[in-house]
Structure 1
C-alpha cells in the first residue's frame, strides 16, 4: 500500500518520523483522515487523538493538546503543543490539569475574547484527555 512521511514534533523533540499509510488528526473543524496524495493544506489542531495506521491496522494513538498540521501529497508534519501516547496518559494527572484549565477559564471571564477562547479550548482539550486516558 502507498505511504507518506508522517512527522510529529512537540516543543521538546521530534516524536515520530516514518512512512505511514494513514493518519487521523483532530482538526479544528473535526476529525480528518489523511492518505497519500492528499491535497496540500495547513490546518489548526484542537486537543484530541492522533491515530496512525500502518500495515492495515492502528499502530499508535497519541493525545495532543492542540497545534497545527501541514499536509502535502507526500508528507504530513504535525506541530503539537504537547503529545503523549494514550497508554502513558495518566487519568489522575489529566484530571488535575482539567481542573486547572477550568479555573483559568473562570478567571478569564472578564478578559478579551481571544483569551477566553484559548482558555475554553484548553478545557475542551483536557476533557478529551480525561476520556481517552489509559494509565492509572
Structure 2
C-alpha cells in the first residue's frame, strides 16, 4: 500500500504521487513517513525532503521551513518554498547565510519574535549550504 505524497509551495502543487516512504525535516529531527504512520502535524525546519521508491531515493527537495500533515495513507508537505536539490546554487546559498547572519547580528535579542525569525532564517540558510555540501555522499 503506497503513501500519497503532496508537496505544496505557496505558488502551486509541485508534486502529487504515490511513494514508498518520505523523510521530512521536522523541527525536532528528521521523520520517516511510511504507510500506516500515526497522524501528525509538525513544523518543518530547513532541510531536505527525501522521496523513496523501491528502497532508493528518487527525488530530493530543499525546503526552508513550513509544515507537514501526516495520516495513515497521506503526507502533505506545505513548504514556505521549495527547490530541487540539484538546482541549489552554492554561491546563492553562501550569500543567504551571510545575509541571515548579518540580520541575526542586528536583531534586538530582547524582541522575542524578531529573535525567533532571525534564528529560523539563519538555521534555514545554513541548512541550504549543508544540503549541497560536497561531504554529502547520499545525493541523488
TM-score (ref. length: structure 2): 0.90
* Cα offsets for 1:48-76 (capped at 9, x unmatched): 11100012211011110000000001110
Distance 1:74 1:131 in 2: 31
Distance 1:91 1:111 in 2: 33
* Cα offsets for 1:61-106 (capped at 9, x unmatched): 1110000000001110010011111101000011111111111111
Distance 2:75 2:20 in 1: 11
Q: Which residue of 2 aligns with 1:40?
A: 39
Q: Which residue of 2 aligns with 1:58?
A: 57
Q: Which residue of 2 aligns with 1:27?
A: 26
Distance 2:117 2:109 in 1: 13
SS of aligned partner of 2:17: strand
* 1:79 and 2:78 matched: yes
5+ long unaligned stretches in structure 2: 134-140
Q: Count how many residue pairs are aligned between Structure 1 and Structure 2.
A: 133
Distance 2:91 2:120 in 1: 20
Distance 2:47 2:68 in 1: 13
**Relative to 1, partners in 2 of residues 1:92 and 1:35: Cα closer, same or farther, differing over 3 Å?**
same
SS of aligned partner of 1:121: helix
Distance 1:72 1:50 in 2: 17
After the TM superposition, list the runs of 4 or more consecutive aligned residues in structure 1 that deviate by more than 4 angstroms: none
Distance 1:127 1:6 in 2: 26
